[in-house]
Amino acid sequence: MTEFVKLLHRCCHLFSTYVTSHKIEKEEQEKKSQLNAGIPQCPKLLVRPCCAPRGRQQIMAALNSQTAVQFQQYAAQQYPGNYEQQQILIRQLQEQHYQQYMQQLYQVQLAQQQAALQKQQDAVVAATGTPLTTASKVNTPAPGDTPSINGQASAHADSPEKELDPEVLEEALENGPKDSVPVIAAPSMWTRPQIKDFKEKIRQDADSVITVGRGEVVTVRVPTHEEGSYLFWEFATDNYDIGFGVYFEWTDSPNTAVSVHVSESSDDEEEEEENTSSEEKAKKNANKPQLDEIVPVYRRDCHEEVYAGSHQYPGRGVYLLKFDNSYSLWRSKTVYYRVYYTR
């Protein structure tokens, strides 16, 4: 571990500056909390580990109460009549949901730290007129760099709760889980290994098997249902991975039928936009309904496991499930998918 840190220090010049900045900020926060609370530092360090198990249980209880119905419905569809397997699947989904929530909470804390350091930097610039180097900023990890349960990393990765500030955890316990986005809830995503059985079942419905040609992007449009509250999706492929993402289009569609649309790659669409005038672009964009990203498009190893997920309706509109094969110039991909809603 020591050699790794030394190597990181040599290769990344921002590392030492970040560590120093983070250490100073942490010491200032501890001094401030000690002055406000009027207690010494040692008892605080002794209390923190004792609170961790209790905090985990309380957060999991709050999260489980929110997802109990949808997880139970999903487990009943996967293992009808098998109560034991249903409970095993529900526990797995609850653990993955907890890990996902803690990751989001950790990212919120990093964003707060970055905002605080940026504020300090702006104050120094205003006072001295000399800008600070960007090395003093906290490097917020990109979405692909953090552990995820959406297939980008193992669900057994170390929990970020170990690094969370006690004040952030205390706020989560007092106020309960809260969505990272005010209007749109975060999706739940997971994988399961029964890919062979899944594909055999999907083959019975020819409309649920689609071919995404080389360089193509296939969009499955799924309107919200007036009797539904959640959308569920599952998909798998043969032999090769494929890009997948979910978007929500804020448009009131009178048709509730699922439809499939094939388009060229995003690069071709960008070239077409470059050839149009700014007035035509503005007119075209004005007529487009608002589009929000639910799940970013990433390549998924869905040829090895079944990828599944759910999302709570943010309102009336149309979900866009994108199967992106634009990066593949030689191979077409066969996708087996299923979508349904629950109350």
What is the pLDDT at residue 40?
43
In a domain, 1, yes or no: no
In a domain, 12, yes or no: no
Residues 199 and 260 in one domain: yes
Give the position of tokens 């990890």: 141
Residues 53 and 165 in one domain: yes
Does 339 have pLDDT greater than 70? Answer: yes
- Range of 146-150, 264-268, 284-288, 325-329 with top mean pLDDT: 325-329
Greater pLDDT, 63 or 324 = 324
- Range of 5-14, 49-58, 293-302 with top mean pLDDT: 293-302
Residues 23 and 164 in one domain: yes
What is the pLDDT at residue 103?
75
In a domain, 2, yes or no: no
Supply the range of the domain harboring residue 293. Answer: 188-342
Which of 26-35, 155-164, 237-246, 289-298 has the weakest average pLDDT? Answer: 155-164
CATH number at residue 220: 2.60.120.680
Residues 28 and 167 in one domain: yes
Greater pLDDT, 282 or 199 = 199
Residues 119 and 240 in one domain: no
What is the pLDDT at residue 133?
42
In a domain, 180, yes or no: no
What is the pLDDT at residue 65?
83
Residues 162 and 242 in one domain: no
In a domain, 8, yes or no: no
What is the pLDDT at residue 100?
78
- Residue range 36-65: average pLDDT? 58
Greater pLDDT, 304 or 267 = 304
Amino acid symbol at 59: I
Q: What is the pTM of this model?
A: 0.50
CA distances from 191 to 153, 225, 294, 305 (A): 11, 25, 18, 6
Tens digit of each residue's pLDDT (9 = 90 or more) over 246-283: 999 998 877 778 889 988 765 555 555 566 667 776 66
Q: What percent of the chain has pLDDT over 90?
A: 31
Which of 154-158, 185-189, 241-245 has the weakest average pLDDT? Answer: 154-158
Residues 171 and 209 in one domain: no
Burial of 36 (0-12, 13-18, 19+ CB in 10 A): exposed
Burial of 330 (0-12, 13-18, 19+ CB in 10 A): exposed
Residues 193 and 336 in one domain: yes
- Residue range 13-42: average pLDDT? 62
Residues 300 and 199 in one domain: yes
In a domain, 5, yes or no: no
What average pLDDT is seen over the chain?
A: 75
State how many domains the chain has. Answer: 2
In a domain, 92, yes or no: yes
Q: What are the DSSP E strand ranges found in the chain?
A: 188-192, 209-212, 217-223, 230-237, 242-249, 259-263, 291-300, 306-312, 318-324, 333-342
Does 194 have pLDDT greater than 80? Answer: yes
Tens digit of each residue's pLDDT (9 = 90 or more) over 124-183: 666 665 444 433 333 334 444 333 333 333 333 344 444 555 665 565 555 555 544 446
Q: Which token pair is 236?
A: 């798998």
Radius of gyration of the chain (CA): 24
Does 334 have pLDDT greater than 90? Answer: yes
CB of 152 closer than 8 Å to CB of 298: yes
Greater pLDDT, 58 or 272 = 58
Tens digit of each residue's pLDDT (9 = 90 or more) over 59-107: 888 888 888 888 888 888 888 888 888 888 888 888 888 887 887 777 7
Does 211 have pLDDT greater than 50? Answer: yes
Residues 130 and 66 in one domain: yes
CB of 243 closer than 8 Å to CB of 297: yes
Greater pLDDT, 221 or 269 = 221
In a domain, 310, yes or no: yes
